[in-house]
A and B are shown apart, each in its own frame.
Chain A
Amino acid sequence: MAKRVVITGMGVVSPNGIGIPAFLNAIQKGISGIRFVPKYEDLHMSCHVAGIPEFEWDNLKTYISEVSFHGLKGTNIAYGITAALDAWADAGLPYDTDEPRWETGCVFGNSAPDSEATKNVINKVDNREVKKLGSRVVEQTMNSGVTSFISGRLGLGNRVVTNSTACATGTQAILMGYEYIQSGLAKRMLVGSGEYIDSYIFGTFDSMRVLSRKFNDQPERASRPMSASYGGFVPGSGAAAFVLEDLDFALARGARIYAEVLGGCANSGGQRGGGTMTAPNPAGVTRCISEAMENSGIKPGDIDLVSGHLTATMADKYEIQSWAQALGRSGKNFPLTNSVKSMIGHCLSAAGSIESVACVLQIVHGFVHPNINLEDPNPEILSIVDTECLPTSMIKKEINIIAKANFGFGDVNCCLIFSKFKN
């Protein structure tokens, strides 16, 4: 019989808050984590704002050994370690172990390995200084660097996987962990994702002209999902992690349970039917949402809140159309809908995991966080959804079921269904 999967620990490194209490406070109050970044102006980029966590590098020493800390430069890895080890401790589990934890695996995702670390390799190799690279470079330039640090610190002995599906990476990491536990392959999975938008990753998106550039002098107003004055996404950075457990396994150890993962779906539109490298095939999106509901045993009417992908580009209206079609709901009957990106920007590979932390917090604390910067909802969206469904200030309300989706470059989709835990 399929196992039930519950969330017993969470950790987050977000532009508007590091650690669960700070992040909860920020999303309840609608605090923006978007800042002006002088370096991006210096580099002649069009977008000069970004969401970057106020991360204290030296704090890492409390998570990993001094030897491991020395020579660590990869910011994405640092974010991932912090989120993952915070989630682990939050689940009431100790870091140290002499034996591998055979029952626990890890799925942690990222997009590119650290490109600043990679630049250092390229420079040294081209300067004929290969001998000076040292032993710490490979671990920080391989894509599985983050999972290797996490699994090594915690002695994780089940399957350890690095996933990468662009903006769907974080939600897919959670879904993969869910599937391993549900099918009985693992008792516990540490899942999540991270992203560090350094100048090189930032530049590639800037060149595509998909980034916000009209609010450079008003950073906190720059990320505007579903707004009529949307102007591209604001890149963000960070990481988030979850401890997922087999329900019986969690109950047996008396674990605190935040919420349940009822199920989900990951698919691809195949870059057909309107789908391209950068735009989703609407049929793929609606199918993904429908199958996520079916796999979770819920009906469209059960959904209290949609946590959208909603990046503040022209794709927002198509996304809302797909939700309306998949759910068969519109106007005032459309579920409440919000986008964490209005506060933290689009954290790319980290988006799905950070936004999922927001989902679980809304279930646990009974609220719907505001969409900030939505003083002018896009009329094309309002032709599908009543404005009351798009809250601009926090709503206190019992939330039982949330649908969380992310859609990524390469026409990949992932949708998760989170539920309040009821035994």
Chain B
Amino acid sequence: MTREEILNELKKVIAPYTTNKEMLDGINDQTDLIRDLKINSANLVDIIIDAEAKYNIEIDYDSADKMINVGSCIDVIYDKLDQK
């Protein structure tokens, strides 16, 4: 799976947790989940759980802590997929 493909899938995972749909359409590596997409910090946990289910991977606590912006989310998912 390419980073581009993961980005497009990630948009679907994030969608239910942001009301900022315009921003979601134009997200890039630098988009911050809390600051830019106004995602409630508690919902980051749900995004991680949804991503685990979607990609059939396990995201450990240390990796989850890195998932602050879109780029780091893709990095973590890419690495975990690579380790499978």
| CB of B63 closer than 8 Å to a CB of A | no
Nearest 4 pairs of A and B residues by beta carbon: A70-B16, A135-B42, A135-B45, A134-B46
Instruction: List, in ascending order, chain B residues with CB within 8 A of A70's CB.
Output: 16-17
Of residues 118 to 156 in A, which have CB atoms within 8 Å of B's CB atoms?
Answer: 131-132, 134-136
Give A71 to B46 CA distance when docked, in angstroms: 9
User: Is the pair A67, B46 in contact by a Cβ cutoff of 8 Å?
Assistant: no
User: Is the pair A131, B43 in contact by a Cβ cutoff of 8 Å?
Assistant: no
User: Is the pair A132, B49 in contact by a Cβ cutoff of 8 Å?
Assistant: yes
Instruction: List, in ascending order, chain A residues with CB within 8 A of B28's CB.
Output: none
Instruction: List, in ascending order, chain B residues with CB within 8 A of A67's CB.
Output: 16-19, 40, 43
How many whole Å from B13's CB to the nearest CB in chain A? 12
Decide if the interface of chain A is mainly helix, strand, loop or mixed: loop
| CB of A65 closer than 8 Å to a CB of B | yes
User: Is the pair B19, A134 in contact by a Cβ cutoff of 8 Å?
Assistant: no
How many whole Å from B77's CB to the nearest CB in chain A? 17
Tally of A interface residues using CB under 8 Å: 10
Instruction: List, in ascending order, chain A residues with CB within 8 A of B17's CB.
Output: 67, 70
User: Is the pair A134, B49 in contact by a Cβ cutoff of 8 Å?
Assistant: yes
Tally of B interface residues using CB under 8 Å: 10
Give A71 to B42 CA distance when docked, in angstroms: 13
Q: List 24 A-B contacts (CB under 8 A).
A: A65-B19, A66-B16, A66-B19, A67-B16, A67-B17, A67-B18, A67-B19, A67-B40, A67-B43, A70-B16, A70-B17, A71-B16, A71-B46, A131-B49, A132-B49, A134-B45, A134-B46, A134-B49, A135-B40, A135-B42, A135-B43, A135-B45, A135-B46, A136-B46
Give A358 to B67 CA distance when docked, in angstroms: 52
Nearest chain-B residue to A139 (Cβ)? B42
Instruction: List, in ascending order, chain B residues with CB within 8 A of A65's CB.
Output: 19
Nearest chain-B residue to A69 (Cβ)? B16
Q: Mark B40-80, 1 if CB is under 8 A from A, else 0.
A: 10110110010000000000000000000000000000000
How many whole Å from A145's CB to the nearest CB in chain B? 14
Instruction: List, in ascending order, chain A residues with CB within 8 A of B42's CB.
Output: 135
Instruction: List, in ascending order, chain B residues with CB within 8 A of A134's CB.
Output: 45-46, 49
Q: Mark B10-34, 1 if CB is under 8 A from A, else 0.
A: 0000001111000000000000000
